[in-house]
Amino acid sequence: MTLQILTIPCLSDNYAYLAHDPDTGQTAAIDVPEAGPIIEALENKGWTLSHVLLTHHHWDHIDGLPDLLAKHPAKVIGAAADAHRLPPLDIALAEGDTVEIGNETGQVIDVSGHTVGHIAYYFPESQTVFTADSLMALGCGRVFEGTMPQMYESLCKLAALPPDTTVCSGHEYTQSNAKFALTVDPDNPALISRAEAVIAARSRNQPTVPSTLAEELATNPFLRADNPAIQAHLGMTGAHPAAVFAEIRARKDRF
């Protein structure tokens, strides 16, 4: 059986996730913005926490860890490159390494850019990738520590995954991301339709995360820097997609 994935709203606009292997009972939490909602979900499901997978060092992804571990001890896993500023790790990983949750093997992908040392976890059998603040629904994380080319390369890695992959990202930013996306890709019917669906979902206080990679490839401007219509709209026809990405990201920063 594949992993059972539970999306857990935290703080004001964060998401954590639980990934549960029904065959073995092992359960991983992916990021811990705060402990309470994760503890409640574990207890409601009757699941036993076995692992915590951390994506990057920002406080709103790790601050709940001490309280979670006090109630549910587990192995803490994160990036070796980020170990000096993450909570103490039991297992430190880098791109190309794997992590076992029950009977399923996840792959570690370096997605530096938002931070240096940010990693994503891809579980092929469950067709799910946990991207936190790298690839996001209709957006991507602000480039705080890395470079624009580095972030573009990271997004290209994620874009190369199978289109039916579920993208579990870290924030409920989709409505504002959609508003921006329409400024650089205004004639995209798929984007227009998705933006309307996002507005409707948020009006009912429904989450817009996770998404699918197919949706992101069709509508997320940060994955579409090679699209001729976007390039023409930006006055960058024929430019290298990495340069187009940098322009889109710079515009989003000012939006």
Known active-site residue 171: yes
61 is catalytic: yes
Of 21, 31, 82, 133, which is the active-site residue? 133
> Exactly one of 51, 57, 114, 118 is catalytic; which is it?
114
Enumerate the β-bridge partners of residue 79.
Answer: 93
Annotated active-site residue in 20, 51, 57, 58: 58
Is residue 56 part of the annotated active site? The answer reads yes
- Catalytic residue, from 20, 51, 56, 118: name it: 56
The reply to whether omega before 210 is within 30° of 0 (cis) is yes
Q: Is there a binding annotation on residue 72? A: no
Task: Please check if 97 is assigned to a binding site.
Answer: no
Per-residue tokens: 144: 């705080």
Q: Please tell me whether 60 is known to bind a ligand.
A: yes
- Contact partners, residue 115, CB within 8 Å, separation at least 6: 56, 57, 58, 82, 133, 144, 145, 146
Catalytic pick among 21, 31, 60, 110: 60
Q: Are strands 119-123 and 104-110 parallel, antiparallel or unpaired?
A: antiparallel
60 has catalytic annotation = yes
Burial class (CB in 10 A: 0-12, 13-18, 19+), 209: buried
Tell me if 56 is assigned to a ligand binding site. Answer: yes
Q: Hey, which residues does 92 pair with through a beta bridge?
A: 78
Any known ligand binding at 233?
no
Residues in the chain: 255
57, 61, 72, 118: the active-site residue: 61
21 in active site: no
What residue numbers does the annotated binding site cover? 56, 58, 60-61, 114, 133, 171
What residue numbers does the annotated binding site for Zn(2+) cover? 56, 58, 60-61, 114, 133, 171
- The set of catalytic residues is 56, 58, 60-61, 114, 133, 171
